[in-house]
Structure 1
Amino acid sequence: MDTRIGSVDAAAEPTAKSVLGCPPTAHCNHIAPSAPVVTPEANLGRHLARRLVQVGVRDVFSVPGDFNLTLLDHLIAEPNLRLIGCCNELNAGYAADGYARARGVGACVVTFTVGGLSVLNAIAGAYSENLPLICIVGGPNSNDYGTSRVLHHTIGLPDFSQELRCFQTVTCFQAVVNNLEDAHELIDTAISTAVKESKPVYISISCNLAAISYPTFSREPVPFSIAPKLSNQMGLAAAVEATAEFLNKAVKPVIVGGPRIRVAKSGNALVELADASGYPVAVMPSAKGLVPEHHPRFIGTYWGAVSTSFCAEIVESADAYVFVGPIFNDYSSVGYSLLLKKEKAIIVQPDRVVVANGPAFGCVLMKDFLRALAKRLNKNSTAYENYQRIFVPDGQPLQCAPKEPLRVNVLFRHIQNMLSGDSAVIAETGDSWFNCQKMKLPEGCGYEFQMQYGSIGWSVGATLGYAQAVKGAKRVTAQDVSTMLRCGQNSIIFLINNGGYTIEVEIHDGPYNVIKNWDYTALVDAIHNGEGKCWTAKVRYEEELKEAIATALGPKQDCLCFIEIIVHKDDTSKELLEWGSRVCSANSRPPNPQ
């Protein structure tokens, strides 16, 4: 009996005109292994550009150098990227920092060692602030690795690892791309790690590789699919149970938001907790702008002895406080002088909760915890009612008399009146920290400053990047004017000229805090040089300030407006005086007994 079954057996005995695995009567084409077509565009430079676009970068801040020029050509060729040339590497890094704050991720490109070590300070600041920043360096020719050659832009030793070693301490991943075989993997790992960890990464790319075609770059890169972090559900339940039990016994609990709300992306979850609990909400100074100040129970900035009016009294008298994403350093604690007790505190970090200096719960995400806790708390508005009873609105500073020198508190009253929902304030390190904390931010108004790292001059580049990421918003700060002019930005810049480093004066005075004064308005005019739209003014009196603001908001609103404010060298906020004395005391503590 014939037991063969149709085409199965027929396929087992192919005829001359059949192909193994096909019915003998069917036409079948040979299927050759898929071979990628390597075109001139299938190169490392294009792949890097496409990856930057995929993660949300639209502007890359750069300083050209001979090791990165070919790479810059490929970034320029990407239609969805703009290359923003900066005056120096430090400002490029600061601009990428500001851009990351506004857009979620930033990128800068510099050259090997001489550029890398220059941008390093900005990268360190971004690391301290948990910002995903992709720092790309044009590196040496791949043939020079492993040789004893000495290259320019280095310290004169045949060791190309100096820059890498420096970046290892201020980035969460480092990729040295000096061959094409693993370039795809290294670049993808670096960029995805920056996004996942919300920290800067370092990518060095040999200068001769960017334009070379290679099979791994032959296809459009598949968008990243980064697995979200998940809470341990048992730990989450236990943390919520312990916290709810503690807080529901409290008489006058409060909530204080901290800067790590940003990295945990938990601003909305904190608002949900505040709405559900009825607790008053304050912010630590470095979290200003991360919690909406139009919230009905917002009570201001908690900063110990230099808090906004009546805020410290409510926080420090509470019998329970929920600190969400705090950083307690010597600056935020006003020289370690906060009147807080650990046994009253719930400390909520991005992935950890500590209850009343007792049980700690790991692998618990802040967002999950806050939302689950909101469902378990009894409503309690006692602390906010106490705040309402003691609150007295701030008195407005007196107007200056005609031709009376302008005072800083009068200046900030006028700046406050300028703010709207499409504004953003970038505060420089110094007395602006304290004056800006007292400003009331309208709904939608952005606010940024760099408290953890505290680099004087940070706002110069950060505003450039922030403004580039959020087109159309007004900015209040001092800035990298020439690049802003080239980019057509219409920022309003207030430069407060007090002739020195006032914040350092109030910590410890000395002749080193006095600097040679410049004619800053004339400097900006020289930078302008008739190219682009720019308007400048120098202000000494309140009536001049009013006129300058009216001009900047009116006929010159499409220009970059630079307003230099001349004030007395000792015109500071009372908060800076108090803070400076306490920080000085902390800095000058004698050594512990041996």
Structure 2
Amino acid sequence: MEITQNTANPTQRMTIGDFLLRRLEEAGIRHLFGVPGDYNLTLLQQLHDSGALEWIGTTGELTSSYAADGYARLNGLGALLVTNGVGALSALNGVAGAYAEHVPVICISGSIPLRSIDRGLGMHHTMADGNFDHFLRAYAPVTVAQARITPRNAVVEIDRLILTAWREKLPVYMELPSDIAYLEIEVPAAPLVLAHVPSDPERLQSCIAALAQQLSAARSPAILVDTDADRFGVVPELVALADKLQAPLAVINAAKGVIDASHPQYLGIYAGKGSEPGVCEAIESSDCLLAVGYRPIEVTTGDFSATLPAGTIHARAHAVDIGEDNYQAVALKEVLRGVIDTAPQVATRVQRPVDAPAARTHVEAAAKLTQAAYWQAVQDYLRPGDVVYVDNGTSFSILGLQLPPGCTFIGSINWGSIGYSVGALLGALTAAPERRHVLLIGDGSFQVTAQELSTILHHDHKPAILLINNGGYTIERGYLGKTEPYNDIANWAYADLPKVLHPSASVQSFVARTCGDLQHALAAPNDKLLFVESIMDPCDAPAAITRSSNLGAELDYGPRGPQHREHLQLRTGAAQI
């Protein structure tokens, strides 16, 4: 490895593969998830030889993409390695989810040799039609940038893609032809620096002045937070601003846990008519609402019942809308810091009433386990600093619980891909093994990606996996097909799976049929992997989940839909959380 001296920008000779691995490491990525294939083995051998990153082989490319997503949420950036075509398309769903959820993931596809592309040679894992751009085009709608690496563009494109993913908090896709990884090129000797593009000075100062004036003049300012507040690292600034203005803070459900629920200015989740008590009035009656990264869909707006005030200020990562004015080329963190310095301190405002603690229902140990008792037990089980995962289904009930301080919430709320959380659990466990990780999942979601439990066990991780076994897709029964067979799934002996997948693993498994069974299981020390299978009635669902499913059916199917036929929907009953 020869370094060229006496230049303003020293360079050195490196192979393309080694340079890529070096840049990933410099960007803070310590692990690479994926599945080996003949087109990516050259890079994998370089990874093995250099020890630059740790390889985490998964059971499939879909779960690799979920793992890279979960890893990025705690690490700031994640990466996966797949093979051409079959691997890339298997990972496409997970990368699309990262795009929808604003998570920076680098998808690297070992692709067909550049020689074959130049000569038009047919290769396996292609469409056999002579067109080698299909997968670059397939990834274009779900990534912010894409490129095929060549010896001529490798330095520019590798840096561009990594920096773009980090700056935009969105996934990127690169194809690395299998015959170029060992070719040497001249590369920068200096390390990659992750840095945002500086704000335009005039636009920044004008934006700060306008935003500070609007907030300072308001009688009832408020702040509404979406997930971008977390992705772009501005939560400390938003909390400091809320403290200075004595302004209430609310989140949408996708951003649960972003603001500490114990903070005196925190109100709760805003979802239109589905909001927590007191939140709707504070947000919708605000005379100066600052909405950060707000992206409304039916799942986050109470089925489109959310109504933000006229004149809401919309702040994004690199731009702010204030009235008729749009401020481009401004970094949100710099804007908020400037407003904190500029806006006057507000001594007091009318304090929001403190909600009384939710009434607890006494349950008998011998009583059959219900959703109501289950979620009450989960609330008691959570503790400060947990990483809490939710998958689609009745596990969305976690949105109605209060997370203790320091918890991180991981879910696929916008994208809603079932099975996401198992792969994400592997990724986040890899990024932060020192924290306690609690997976809340139903049997239907679990069956999609259950095989990744074997990788979790292989690496001796110790999460708590709390699984609801209720015979199928209960949330879908609320939409349509209360007792129809299409919402049923094959029953597994879920609690036995850890030992089947990894016989030598140290695991505690429990099957809970009664409230006492569940309490006993949750009292077990979490010094090894904990797997709790809770068996419940297929038609028992929390009222909020059933109500949301019923409304969702109206939106999805319209007035002529089959949901109006008798007994085709699971409807709100006695179960509550």
Give TM class, smaller chain: 0.7 to 0.9
Of 304, 315, 338, the residue aligned with 1:372 is 338
Counterpart of 1:466, as a letter, is: A
Change (3 A) 1:508 1:323: farther
Equivalent positions of 1:265-276 (< 5 A) are 265-276=233-244
Of 179, 182, 186, the residue aligned with 1:216 is 186
Equivalent positions of 1:350-365 (< 5 A) are 350-355=317-322, 358-365=324-331
Show the counterpart of 1:447.
409
Counterpart of 2:304, as a letter, is: Y
For the residue of structure 2 that corresponds to 1:341, the secondary structure is: coil
Counterpart of 1:525, as a letter, is: K
Change (3 A) 1:116 1:414: same
Per the TM alignment, residue 85 of structure 1 is displaced from its structure 2 partner at its CA by 0.6
Per the TM alignment, residue 417 of structure 1 is displaced from its structure 2 partner at its CA by 2.5
CA–CA distance in 2 between the matches of 1:303 and 1:522?
A: 39
CA–CA distance in 2 between the matches of 1:234 and 1:380?
A: 31
CA–CA distance in 1 between the matches of 2:38 and 2:147?
A: 20
Change (3 A) 1:291 1:386: closer
The answer to whether 1:432 aligns with 2:395 is: yes
Per the TM alignment, residue 164 of structure 1 is displaced from its structure 2 partner at its CA by 1.2
**1:147/1:158 contact within 8 Å kept:** no
Change (3 A) 1:144 1:405: same
Per the TM alignment, residue 227 of structure 1 is displaced from its structure 2 partner at its CA by 4.9
The answer to whether 1:116 aligns with 2:88 is: yes
Show the counterpart of 1:323.
291
Larger radius of gyration: 1
CA–CA distance in 2 between the matches of 1:211 and 1:352?
A: 42
Change (3 A) 1:232 1:306: same
**1:252/1:320 contact within 8 Å kept:** yes
Equivalent positions of 1:253-264 (< 5 A) are 253-264=221-232
Counterpart of 1:508, as a letter, is: L
Show the counterpart of 1:579.
548
Show the counterpart of 1:19.
none
Show the counterpart of 1:395.
359
**1:335/1:585 contact within 8 Å kept:** no
Q: Which runs of 5+ in 2 are unaligned?
A: 442-449, 561-577
Equivalent positions of 1:507-546 (< 5 A) are 507-509=479-481, 511=484, 512-528=486-502, 530-546=503-519
For the residue of structure 2 that corresponds to 1:454, the secondary structure is: coil
**2:499/2:505 contact within 8 Å kept:** no
CA–CA distance in 1 between the matches of 2:50 and 2:380?
A: 42
CA–CA distance in 2 between the matches of 1:508 and 1:243?
A: 47
Per the TM alignment, residue 249 of structure 1 is displaced from its structure 2 partner at its CA by 4.3
For the residue of structure 2 that corresponds to 1:61, the secondary structure is: strand
Q: Which runs of 5+ in 1 are unaligned?
A: 1-30
**1:36/1:215 contact within 8 Å kept:** no
Per the TM alignment, residue 310 of structure 1 is displaced from its structure 2 partner at its CA by 3.3
Show the counterpart of 1:569.
538
For the residue of structure 2 that corresponds to 1:71, the secondary structure is: helix
Change (3 A) 1:322 1:405: same
The answer to whether 1:461 aligns with 2:423 is: yes
For the residue of structure 1 that corresponds to 2:186, the secondary structure is: helix
Per the TM alignment, residue 37 of structure 1 is displaced from its structure 2 partner at its CA by 8.3
**2:498/2:505 contact within 8 Å kept:** no
Deviates more, 1:50-59 or 1:369-378: 369-378
Equivalent positions of 1:126-525 (< 5 A) are 126-177=98-149, 179-212=150-183, 214-216=184-186, 221-343=189-311, 345-355=312-322, 358-374=324-340, 375-377=342-344, 379=346, 382=349, 385-388=351-354, 391-399=355-363, 401-433=364-396, 435-477=397-439, 478=441, 480-509=452-481, 511=484, 512-525=486-499
CA–CA distance in 2 between the matches of 1:33 and 1:267?
A: 44
Per the TM alignment, residue 52 of structure 1 is displaced from its structure 2 partner at its CA by 1.1
**1:63/1:86 contact within 8 Å kept:** yes
**2:365/2:517 contact within 8 Å kept:** no
For the residue of structure 2 that corresponds to 1:406, the secondary structure is: coil
CA–CA distance in 1 between the matches of 2:120 and 2:51?
A: 40
CA–CA distance in 2 between the matches of 1:101 and 1:410?
A: 31
**1:308/1:437 contact within 8 Å kept:** no
Per the TM alignment, residue 558 of structure 1 is displaced from its structure 2 partner at its CA by 3.1
**1:300/1:311 contact within 8 Å kept:** yes
Change (3 A) 1:48 1:340: closer
Counterpart of 1:301, as a letter, is: I
1:238-258 Cα distance to aligned partner (Å, 9 max, x none): 444444444444433322211
Per the TM alignment, residue 425 of structure 1 is displaced from its structure 2 partner at its CA by 0.2
Change (3 A) 1:114 1:278: same
Per the TM alignment, residue 111 of structure 1 is displaced from its structure 2 partner at its CA by 0.7
CA–CA distance in 2 between the matches of 1:577 and 1:377?
A: 46
1:377-403 Cα distance to aligned partner (Å, 9 max, x none): 5627545x2433xx332111332x243
**1:423/1:446 contact within 8 Å kept:** yes
Per the TM alignment, residue 318 of structure 1 is displaced from its structure 2 partner at its CA by 3.6
For the residue of structure 1 that corresponds to 2:197, the secondary structure is: coil
Across the aligned residues of Structure 1 and Structure 2, the Cα RMSD in angstroms comes to 2.6
For the residue of structure 2 that corresponds to 1:136, the secondary structure is: strand
Show the counterpart of 2:527.
558
For the residue of structure 2 that corresponds to 1:255, the secondary structure is: strand
Show the counterpart of 2:444.
none
Of 14, 21, 33, the residue aligned with 1:61 is 33
Deviates more, 1:240-249 or 1:186-195: 240-249
**1:525/1:536 contact within 8 Å kept:** no
Counterpart of 1:346, as a letter, is: I
Per the TM alignment, residue 537 of structure 1 is displaced from its structure 2 partner at its CA by 1.5
Deviates more, 1:454-463 or 1:497-506: 497-506
